[in-house]
């Protein structure tokens, strides 16, 4: 076998730095040293030198074929590939340095042609080699530019060595695309590699943008690759003041000021090199919420005019009974269409807001005012830019009206009930509403809401950086699974009115037919079968209640774990409101409500039950009169109160 030598010329400057990465070149002298699937022995023979900076260096590799025809070559070298050889080069990096990207380019000034069938392998331990992939390079598109290149990202893998080879084969001497070239890196080609001196610090705690952090917060982070020590910057202006160099990956800044934004940065020191870190920030808490919301109930009396319809009136006895049951706050609905005039409030109608709020406060309970528009209102004022501009003016004046009358420890404001039909992303619109309100209502607790009818999936897409405010709740609404909570509902046009006695927990698969009433239209029955099978397949039990809320806690933890979360609505329809004998089994309904409430409280999530003496009543369904004008303490359902973690109280 003839001797095979591949010559490389390193164009970039070199320095004598023993700690830097090293490029090795293997002189292949026998076919056994380049057999397919075998990584040649690594040694220092042919070592070119040490890399000199943290940007990039270039190797030019040149060769002429066995025929000696050659190509234009400003850096000449010869290589007789013969047959059956793999040519390769190895980039070796020690623990201080981390390979970030590897670029392989082809280039030929005359033909623009390049090499094909390139194999790239890497090792992180110097022994176990892993194949990164085959990269095939075809004929270049241009004749004067670099073309057909690829960037190989290692996705965080700490590769201390990389090998580039061509596949073993027979060199035909033909450059044509239909005759793949095997053996050498043929023609004028370039391998350009990029590396960094270590990597940035990562995984900051608190996470970047966290809010409501304690005043005794300690910083921590994950060290970058090869970091020997850390330069810590911390302060109230970006990027922070240099606080010293240390080897630990935690830093205690000492007592922090309330309601203050802090900036910090960790620069990783790797011997003579320093990797500048990312600037992170967090904000400390400004104190407790103005109004803490734990266990509440909604009075679902939506009114369409002022004065309200008789069935929408809230009576003093309603609040008295709510208090006797142990609820800690009351949510009342405010239809903005009844209070809005142009882009401000209708002062002639505001007396009714006074009445319903003061009726709750008179019994010593705080109140949540929830802006609760009808669908047509949302389409008009959330669905168009002009309508939204008017709505912002209304929010500002409506908030000012409430702030002038009721203290922050007595009233909280829910910005919207189940937004939908927005003309742009709700996470862009809601911060504008928040800013409009805060100009006139700076101290009251606000309840932010999720898009898409306030579902959990929409809430967990909210970025807390958009609302830089400690005195807020992030809220969601959930009635999942609807096949249980809505079964028998008379307002529905789908299969719900035809569903009865769907069990909870749903521990084992059941026959869907036994839960579908006779007479259900065939098309609805087919859909009901599908949903029921899904319900039983999960199955729904206490563990699934917790699983439902896992995205909420994951989202909270991802943003520091200090956000205040509220379930703005949950409940289950009672069967007395269901037509044609549909609806859920009462004991199953009680168990479902118990498990959902318990899941909320395990995760420190406040809740508002929907509702008082309306569709999803908290009363004994067999005794109460819907929206009755003479509610009775006798209607109180001890089983329901137990499910909600409340204790029944005697009539005062």
CA distances from 11 to 19, 52, 75, 149, 192 (A): 20, 12, 10, 20, 11
CA-based nearest residue to 99, from 165, 164, 194, 20: 194
Q: Do 207 and 86 share a domain, yes or no?
A: no
What pLDDT, on a 0 to 100 scale, did the predictor assign at position 129?
60
Q: Do 221 and 336 share a domain, yes or no?
A: no
Tokens of 379: 């389409």
Q: Using 70 as the pLDDT threshold, list the residues of the chain that sit under it.
A: 1-198, 225-226, 271-273, 287, 578-580, 648-652
Q: Do 43 and 98 share a domain, yes or no?
A: yes
Q: Do 328 and 313 share a domain, yes or no?
A: yes
* Within-domain flag for 508: no
Helix (H/G/I), strand (E/B), else coil: 324: helix
Quick one: CA dihedral 305, 306, 307, 312, positive or negative?
Answer: positive
Q: Find out whether the peptide bond into 314 is cis, omega within 30 degrees of 0.
A: no
* Within-domain flag for 449: yes
Q: Which of 235, 252, 284 finishes a domain? A: 284
* Within-domain flag for 512: no
Residues contacting 508, CB < 8 A, separation 6+:
536, 539
What pLDDT, on a 0 to 100 scale, did the predictor assign at position 470?
86
CA distances from 459 to 205, 445, 464, 472, 475 (A): 22, 18, 11, 14, 7
CA distances from 80 to 7, 62, 104, 170, 177 (A): 11, 11, 22, 12, 21
Q: Do 220 and 73 share a domain, yes or no?
A: no
What pLDDT, on a 0 to 100 scale, did the predictor assign at position 572?
96
Domain that holds residue 238: 202-284
Going along 428-481, which residue ranges are E strands? 446-449, 472-477
Helix (H/G/I), strand (E/B), else coil: 530: helix
For strand 344-345 and strand 446-449, is the pairing parallel, antiparallel, or unpaired? unpaired
Quick one: CA dihedral 173, 175, 181, 183, positive or negative?
Answer: positive
Q: Do 18 and 150 share a domain, yes or no?
A: yes
Contact (CB, 8 A) for 132 and 121: yes
**250: CATH:** 2.60.40.10
Tokens of 621: 């369904």
* Within-domain flag for 536: no
Q: In percent, how much of the chain has pLDDT > 70?
A: 67
Q: Which residue intervals of 239-350 are DSSP H helices?
A: 316-325
* Within-domain flag for 45: yes
**22: CATH:** 2.60.120.260
DSSP 644: T
> What are the residues facing 648 on neighbouring strands?
none
What pLDDT, on a 0 to 100 scale, did the predictor assign at position 184?
34
* Within-domain flag for 476: yes
Q: Which of 220, 251, 284 finishes a domain? A: 284
Q: Do 278 and 380 share a domain, yes or no?
A: no
Distance, CA of 356 to CA of 106 (rounded, Å): 77
Contact (CB, 8 A) for 627 and 616: no
DSSP 181: -
CA-based nearest residue to 339, from 410, 426, 401: 401
646 exposure class (CB count in 10 Å sphere: 0-12, 13-18, 19+): buried
Q: Do 3 and 69 share a domain, yes or no?
A: yes
Contact (CB, 8 A) for 388 and 382: yes
* Within-domain flag for 164: yes
* Within-domain flag for 535: no
Distance, CA of 411 to CA of 368 (rounded, Å): 6
Tokens of 207: 């996470």
Counted domains in the chain: 3
Q: Do 392 and 259 share a domain, yes or no?
A: no
Distance, CA of 284 to CA of 262 (rounded, Å): 8
DSSP 341: E
Q: Do 149 and 222 share a domain, yes or no?
A: no
Q: Do 12 and 154 share a domain, yes or no?
A: yes
What pLDDT, on a 0 to 100 scale, did the predictor assign at position 120?
56
pTM of the model: 0.64
Q: Which of 172, 197, 222 finishes a domain? A: 197
**316: CATH:** 3.20.20.80
Distance, CA of 358 to CA of 366 (rounded, Å): 10
Tokens of 652: 């005062």
CA-based nearest residue to 478, from 330, 587, 605, 376: 605
Distance, CA of 468 to CA of 618 (rounded, Å): 36
Q: How far is CA 232 from the centre of its chain?
A: 28
Q: How far is CA 436 from the centre of its chain?
A: 27
Going along 136-185, which residue ranges are E strands? 147-153, 161-166
Q: Do 151 and 30 share a domain, yes or no?
A: yes
CA-based nearest residue to 87, from 148, 138, 35: 35
């Amino acid at each position: 076998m003839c001797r095979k030598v591949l010559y490389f010329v390193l164009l970039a400057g070199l320095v004598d730095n023993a700690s830097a990465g090293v490029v090795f070149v293997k002189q292949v002298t026998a076919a056994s040293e380049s057999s397919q699937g075998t990584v040649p022995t690594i040694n220092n023979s042919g070592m070119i030198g040490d890399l000199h900076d943290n940007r990039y260096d270039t190797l030019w590799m040149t060769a002429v074929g066995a025929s000696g025809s050659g190509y234009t070559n400003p850096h000449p070298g010869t290589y007789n590939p013969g047959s059956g050889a793999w040519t390769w080069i190895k980039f070796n990096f020690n623990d201080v340095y981390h390979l970030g990207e590897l670029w392989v380019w082809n280039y030929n000034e005359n033909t623009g042609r390049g090499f094909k069938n390139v194999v790239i392998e890497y090792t992180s331990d110097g022994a176990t080699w892993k194949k990164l992939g085959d990269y095939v390079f075809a004929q270049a598109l241009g004749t004067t530019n670099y073309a057909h290149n690829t960037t190989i990202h290692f996705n965080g893998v700490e590769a201390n060595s990389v090998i580039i080879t061509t596949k073993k084969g027979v060199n035909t001497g033909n450059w044509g695309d239909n005759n793949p070239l095997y053996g050498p890196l043929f023609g004028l080609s370039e391998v350009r590699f990029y590396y960094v001196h270590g990597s940035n610090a990562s995984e900051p705690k608190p996470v970047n943008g966290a809010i409501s952090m304690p005043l005794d917060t300690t910083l921590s982070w994950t060290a970058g690759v090869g970091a020997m020590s850390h330069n810590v910057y911390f302060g109230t202006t970006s990027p922070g003041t240099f606080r010293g160099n240390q080897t630990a990956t935690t830093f205690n800044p000492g007592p922090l000021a309330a309601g203050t934004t802090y900036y910090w940065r960790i620069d990783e020191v790797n011997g003579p090199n320093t990797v500048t870190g990312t600037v992170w920030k967090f904000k400390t808490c400004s104190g407790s919420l103005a109004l803490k919301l734990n266990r509440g109930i909604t009075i679902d009396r939506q009114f369409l005019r002022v004065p309200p319809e008789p069935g929408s009136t809230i009576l003093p006895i309603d609040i008295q009974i709510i208090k006797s049951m142990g609820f800690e706050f009351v949510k009342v609905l405010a239809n903005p269409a009844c209070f809005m005039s142009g882009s401000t409030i209708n002062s002639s109608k505001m007396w009714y807001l006074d009445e319903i709020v003061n009726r709750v406060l008179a019994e010593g309970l705080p109140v949540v005012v929830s802006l609760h528009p009808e669908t047509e209102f949302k389409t008009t004022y959330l669905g168009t830019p002009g309508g939204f501009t008017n709505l912002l003016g209304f929010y500002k004046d409506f908030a000012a009206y409430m702030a002038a009358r009721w203290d922050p420890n007595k009233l909280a404001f829910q910005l919207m009930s189940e937004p939908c039909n927005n003309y742009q992303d709700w996470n862009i619109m809601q911060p504008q509403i928040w800013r409009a309100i805060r100009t006139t209502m700076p101290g009251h607790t606000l309840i932010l809401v999720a898009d898409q009818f306030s579902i959990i999936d929409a809430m967990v897409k909210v970025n807390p950086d958009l609302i830089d405010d400690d005195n807020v709740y992030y809220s969601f609404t959930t009635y999942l699974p609807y096949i249980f909570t809505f079964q028998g509902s008379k307002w529905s046009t789908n299969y719900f009115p035809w569903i009865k006695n769907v069990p909870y927990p749903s521990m084992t698969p059941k026959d869907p037919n036994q839960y579908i009433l006779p007479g259900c239209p065939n098309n609805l029955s087919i859909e009901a079968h599908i949903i029921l099978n899904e319900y039983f397949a999960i199955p729904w039990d206490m563990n699934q209640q917790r699983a439902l809320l896992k995205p909420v806690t994951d989202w909270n933890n991802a943003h520091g774990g200090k956000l205040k979360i509220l379930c703005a609505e949950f409940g289950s329809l009672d069967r007395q409101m269901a037509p044609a004998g549909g609806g859920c089994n009462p004991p199953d309904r009680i168990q479902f409500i118990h498990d959902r409430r318990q899941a909320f409280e395990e995760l420190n999530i406040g809740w508002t039950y929907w509702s008082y003496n309306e569709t999803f009543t908290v009363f004994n369904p067999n005794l109460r009169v819907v929206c009755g004008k003479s509610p009775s303490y006798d209607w109180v359902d001890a089983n329901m109160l137990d499910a909600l973690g409340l204790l029944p109280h005697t009539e005062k």
